[in-house]
Every structure is written in C-alpha cells, then in structure tokens.
Structure 1
C-alpha cells in the first residue's frame, strides 16, 4: 500500500510541475503581447534628417507636439542632418523596431536618393515600415530682393546672359529643393550653379544675406520671409497656384510650360516594427492630422495635410521612386 501511495504522490507531483511549467511558459509568451497592448510606455524619438528650422523640422515639431498629447508619452525631435537626409535615414533604419523610433521621411530620402547616390547606407523600401504621409508641400522659387530679376522670364534672361554665374541653394544633394532646380535648369535651358547645404535653414540664411541668389525652397521654411518682404517670391513649382500665396504665379504659367515639382513628407518606423504598433501609430497620426488646430498650423506653412493607410503610403512611394528616378537620370545629377 505504501509503495502505491508513494508512486501516486510522485505522479501527482510530476503532473503539477508540468502544469506549472506550461502556465509559466504561457505567461511569458503573453508578455510581448501585453507590452504591445500597453504601447507606448516611454518616450518616442522622431528622427528628422535635416537641420532645425527647415520644412521637415517644422512639420515634425507640429506633429510631435500633437502626438505627445494623443499618445500620452513625450515625442521628441532628434535632428540628424547631412548627406541629403541619408545620415538620419541610416540611424532610423538601424534603430530597434519597437515603435519608439520614428522617422520623418521626405521625397528625397524615399524617392530620390536611391537613384541619386551611388552608395546608399539604407534601403528606403526594405528598411522602413511606412505609417502615413503627413503633408504635400509646394516648392517656392524665391530670390534675394537685391537680385535684378522679379519674375521667371527675367530670371531666365539673366541666367542666359551670365552663364554659370547664378547660384541656387538647397537643403542638400538629392533633396526635392535640389532637384526642382535641376529640373528648371533642364527645361529652361539655363546654366546655374548648385550650392548644397545641410538643411534648408542654413541655405535660407545665406539667401537672406545674398550669399546665394535664388532657392527653390519648400514653402513652409520660406513663406514667413516672403510675407515680411525679406525674400522676393518669383513663382511656385506646383501645377496650380498656392492658396497661401494666390498672387504668385506658377513656373509653368510664367514661361516654362509643363514644369511641376511637389515635395511630400511622411512618417516611418523601422522595418520589422510589430503590425499592432504600426496600426496604433497610423491611427494616432491620422487622428491628430484631422484636428483643426493641427491642420491650421500646417496650412499656414503653405502645406497641405494628407493622411492615408500604411498600404496606400507604400504604393505611393513606389510610384514616386519611379517618377523621381527618371528626373534624376535625365538631369544628370549624381552624388558619389
């Protein structure tokens, strides 16, 4: 009898231990799911691949402030400028894919650079999880008021009379600002010198000081200087005039028919970010972009708010890559 009792107790203990291990394993397996459900539980960093004060930075700070309130956790901006956005892009692509690092990408980082640069430190398609576009932005052709031209026709005439002497600044090689200028050179058949900067803000500073003559700047970083009279608006790069500057003509209607160049900005997470986190971020970003105060702040910069699903944003990027890749090849622009 005692032997049977001991054996029974052993079997009972073994079954209890097995059940405990199974329960523990189940609890451990549920930790990641619980952590995702609690997302976010700490500060989120939004990497901006250009310097403070430029359009990418302006939009990032508007959105980060709104997201802080929406998500209940701080969303801070981390400016990592250089190499046409590639330095910041590389940092974001290599970040842990947990939803705590976001990237404010642009048409440059995700549709231009792959063709422009011979060597890329990241793959704009494979290394990122698209969240949503944030805004579409016209580029604005502006000049220092001391320059002798006041419209596109006068600018073209001056450039042809002084080949290679007229310089235009940009936020960096491969940026939409750079390529807007290259496209203008090709279509207007003029010879101008490109001067790249590490972001729009330092380029605008030199433009204000007349160190460079003109710039095809994103409207948000130039519009305040236009309104104050410190910069002269020449034309907008979009197919239609901007509601924020209705008296400024388009380049196409000013003597370069067919010219059109539009910038866009959007948020990404590193590839491999859990789908539940991607969905949470997309929902939060779309929600804040729909808020009246956020839309007003973005519209006042001359930008148009735009949001979509991750799938729609991904398809859009694919098309933009084809479009701008062709522009880069036809312009002959290249960066080693």
Structure 2
C-alpha cells in the first residue's frame, strides 16, 4: 500500500524523467527526431540559396527528417547569420552562407550583433564559387582589354551591381578598380538575383556574377569577358582570367558552406559533415554546382576553418586599401 509521501515521491520521479527526456534529445542522443531548418542568409535565387536547395533533398533522405529552407537576407548575410547564431545548439538549425559573412563582415561593420568566429562553427564547406565579369550586350567592348579602356575613358559614367557592400562580387569590383585605376559607380542590392535582374534590364552596365547569370550568358543576353579566379572555368575554357588579362594575382573566389550554432554537439557536426561530403560527391550535385560556375568542395570542418581564416586575411587587405565600410 502506497502512502501519500510515496505517491508524491513517485510523481516527482516521473516528472523528473519527463523533463530529462528533451535534454537527452537536445544533446543528440536521438538526433534527428524532428525537422531541420537551413537558414540561407541571402534571398531566393542566389548562389547560396541554390546550393542549399540542391543539398537539402538528399540530406533529408539521409537523415530521415524534413530539411526546410528559410531565407533571411539582409545586411550582407548578417541577419540570417544572427538568426542561426542565436538558435539552440541542438543540430536542428544550420546556416548556409557565403564566405563573406564570416571572412568580410567583421572587417566592414564597426559593430555586429554577433561574432561569427565565436557564435558559429563550421560544419562543411559546400563549394568554391567563382565570379564572372559580365556586361550588358549593348556595351561596345567585346573583350576585357577593350572593356577596361572603355570604362577608364568614362570615369563615373558606368555602374556595376553587387549582392551588397562587402559581398565577394563587390570586393571583386573594388579589386578591379584598384588594379586598373578606373572609376565606376557601385550599386549594392539585397542579393545576387536582384542585381542580375537589373543588369538584364539594362539598368546596370556590368556585374561580377557569382554564377547565377551563366544561363543568360549562354543565351546571349549577357556578355562574359573574364573570370575573377586564379584559374579558368571549365565551363568557359576560352574565357581568360583577369590575372591573364594583366591584373596579377586577382582572386575573388569565396567558399560557401554550412555552419551551426557554437557548442552544437560534436557527434552531430561529424554526422552532418559526413553526409554533406557524401552528397557533394554525387554527380547530380556536382553538376548543379558546376552549372553555377562553382566547384564542389568537400572536406573536414578544420579544413573549412583554415580556408575561412585565409580568406579573411586576403579580403582584409582590399578592404583596408579601399576603405570599405558597410552602408
């Protein structure tokens, strides 16, 4: 026969067990047991969004849980970055970001609401993304040499777009101006897709495209003059790099990848890294990334972190030289 005291003790034990269960799930013992969200810190249609969506379906199949995409663009990736950084470190929120948010933004924002180096942890690199110097077809120059001369003869008369101040296409534009001595007006947008649309509409003159405009290049709606990478693109082997055009050392490549909130359990990070690397090796995914002019980049979280640090040092130099600050 139970006494009131023993019944109270049993009830307390049951309540304690029930309270402990979510904590066990949060620590990854049953992970994943619910949908996973990938925050993309740029609007739909850009390279980050397209890569995240390409990876999400096979990742969903591998993990046995829905993988949902949430676009939170703005402030060159900071808005979505903060959403991910502030999320519980339980493996149910990931971030897909360009390298600029972690390698560039700390150099151009006097103050950020979070610290990418402390509040986020690299999970898996996804792709090395190139930038392609494209112009509207109505511009007379048909090669990079003539284009440079054309712009230099018209200081301040031409404009170029970017996904935002401090984005890799913007930094490519600043590198371009620095090494050629030309002057053109920078027009920042809230993502790569809106900038591309204005270029197609003729409201911009040129653009360092992160790969999403290559279909328009093939269709003759844009003219591709050069690649802002140390090596030529396999998609356009006849198109020179800017280094080959005389802009020695020109390198505006960036690495897009997946991050998790700091202190996410290491076993979850290891599992995600393994699954994402396996997905990146799939022919269909490699082809999808290649269609953006990029290159799938599987590897360890440590290798990803090393690349982030190297890019931060490289981009900091042009940021200091050009005195680039966020708007």
Settle same-fold status: TM greater than 0.5. yes
* Aligned residue number for residue 83 of structure 2: 91
Name the CA distance, whole Å, in 2 between partners of 1:315 and 1:27.
42
1:211-255 Cα shifts (integer Å, max 9, x gaps): 000001102x01111111111001001111100111211111123
Give 1:113's match in structure 2, choosing from 83, 101, 105: 105
Contact 1:171–1:196 (Cα < 8 Å) also in 2:
yes
Give 2:51's match in structure 1, choosing from 39, 59, 71: 59
Give 1:193's match in structure 2, choosing from 173, 179, 185: 185
* Aligned residue number for residue 246 of structure 1: 237
1:78-118 Cα shifts (integer Å, max 9, x gaps): 11111111111111111121111110121210101110122
1:227 correspondence with 2:218: yes
SS class of match (2:118): coil
Map residues 1-336 of structure 1 onto 2, 5 A cutoff. Answer: 32-33=23-24, 36-219=28-211, 221-336=212-327
Name the CA distance, whole Å, in 2 between partners of 1:244 and 1:41.
41
Which ranges of structure 1 fall in alignment gaps of 5 or more residues? Answer: 1-12
Contact 2:128–2:256 (Cα < 8 Å) also in 1:
yes
Name the CA distance, whole Å, in 1 between partners of 2:72 and 2:17.
42
Name the CA distance, whole Å, in 1 between partners of 2:18 and 2:151.
71
**Distance change (3 Å), C-alpha of 1:27 and 1:90:** closer
TM norm structure 1: 0.89
Q: How far 1:18 sits from its partner (Å)?
A: 10
Name the CA distance, whole Å, in 2 between partners of 1:25 and 1:51.
43
TM norm structure 2: 0.92
**Distance change (3 Å), C-alpha of 1:289 and 1:333:** same
More helix by share: 1
Contact 1:70–1:288 (Cα < 8 Å) also in 2:
no
Name the CA distance, whole Å, in 2 between partners of 1:121 and 1:260.
29
Name the CA distance, whole Å, in 1 between partners of 2:68 and 2:18.
33
Q: How far 1:180 sits from its partner (Å)?
A: 0.4
**Distance change (3 Å), C-alpha of 1:167 and 1:276:** same
Name the CA distance, whole Å, in 1 between partners of 2:197 and 2:49.
16
Name the CA distance, whole Å, in 2 between partners of 1:179 and 1:291.
31
Please identify runs of 4+ aligned residues in structure 1 that moved more than 6 A: 17-28
Considering only aligned residues, what root-mean-square deviation do their CA atoms show, in Å?
Answer: 2.3
- The count of corresponding residues between Structure 1 and Structure 2 is 322
Name the CA distance, whole Å, in 2 between partners of 1:98 and 1:178.
34
* Aligned residue number for residue 3 of structure 1: none
Max radius of gyration: which structure?
1
Contact 2:210–2:292 (Cα < 8 Å) also in 1:
no
SS class of match (1:252): coil
Name the CA distance, whole Å, in 1 between partners of 2:250 and 2:25.
52
Q: How far 1:186 sits from its partner (Å)?
A: 0.3
Name the CA distance, whole Å, in 2 between partners of 1:25 and 1:91.
31
